[in-house]
Amino acid sequence: MKVVQIAVGQMMANAFAAYNEGSGKAFVVDPGADYDRIVKRLDENGITEVTHILLTHGHFDHIGAAARLKAQTGAKVCVHRRDASMLQSDTENLAALFGEHIEPVEPDVVLEGGETLLAADIAVEVLHTPGHSGGSVCYIANDAMFSGDTLFYRGIGRTDFPGSSAREYIRSLQNVLGGLHKDYTVYTGHGIKTTLFSELQSFPYLQL
């Protein structure tokens, strides 16, 4: 599976396209902004079909190009139940707070966590990891994890937004991510990629 990273928007959120080489099909994680740049990178990589738009959570910097990408490709928009209403509200998705407007988009698949999707013929497991937002999820596909704002290189996301919960966050880090027995390359929502085990070892709160 190949992963293409595209930093988009004023917050430099990472959008990703993941695909099996030669298949022409991809799923896109967090198309946060810059629709034209995302499509250009898809074209460069021979992608002719986007099957799913996988949102790690509902904040504006991760969803901004989802409506247009869905309209142009017919891809299914997937988001966790607890963040679903953010896709329709600039207040809830924090766009208003940062002086932006997000084109609202209807989710096609409302996630609970624990399910496995077949996206671009790739099995994608959904882990519900609330904390940064109530509906934050991490997606696992092959050896890759797409962590959104739940896990960064040597850091975690903010917990001071409406819907954030430090208590839930600690539980997600300890019990959900901390309970995984396989190392993954972690493609983070902002900044560079990392690995799960290096983060588990870096942070004392993950070892409690």
Q: Which residue is nearest to Zn ion (CB)?
A: 59
**Minimal distance, residue 176 CB to Zn ion, in Å:** 17
**Minimal distance, residue 14 CB to Zn ion, in Å:** 9
3-state SS record for 175-204? HHHCCCCCCCEEEECECCCEEHHHHHHHCH
Stretch that binds Zn ion, among 23-31, 66-74, 95-103, 182-190 (CB under 5 A): 182-190
Edge-to-edge strand ranges of the sheet holding 137-141: 116-119, 122-128, 137-141, 144-148, 185-188, 194-195
Q: Is residue 168 close enough to count as binding Zn ion by CB under 5 A?
A: no
Residue 17 or 86 having the CB closest to Zn ion: 86
Contacts of 123 (CB under 8 A, 6+ apart): 116, 117, 141
Pairing of strands 76-80, 109-111: parallel
Q: Is residue 30 close enough to count as binding Zn ion by CB under 5 A?
A: no
The two tokens of residue 18 are: 């993941």
Stretch that binds Zn ion, among 84-92, 119-127, 172-180, 184-192 (CB under 5 A): 184-192
Q: How many CB atoms lie within 10 A of CB 80?
A: 25
Q: Is residue 149 close enough to count as binding Zn ion by CB under 5 A?
A: yes
Tell which positions 53-72 bind Zn ion, by CB under 5 A.
59, 61
- Binding residue count for Zn ion, defined by CB under 5 A: 5
b/e per residue, 116-135, with b = 16+ CB within 10 A?
ebebbebebebbbbbbbbbb
**Minimal distance, residue 145 CB to Zn ion, in Å:** 16
Tell which positions 92-131 bind Zn ion, by CB under 5 A.
none
H-type alpha helices, the chain: 35-44, 60-63, 66-73, 166-171, 196-202
Residue 86 or 140 having the CB closest to Zn ion: 86
**Minimal distance, residue 22 CB to Zn ion, in Å:** 32
**Minimal distance, residue 196 CB to Zn ion, in Å:** 19
Stretch that binds Zn ion, among 7-15, 47-55, 101-109, 180-188 (CB under 5 A): 7-15
**Minimal distance, residue 11 CB to Zn ion, in Å:** 6
- Residue 188, judged by CB atoms within 10 A of its CB (0-12, 13-18, 19+), counts as buried
Where on the chain is the footprint of Zn ion (CB under 5 A)? 13, 59, 61, 149, 189
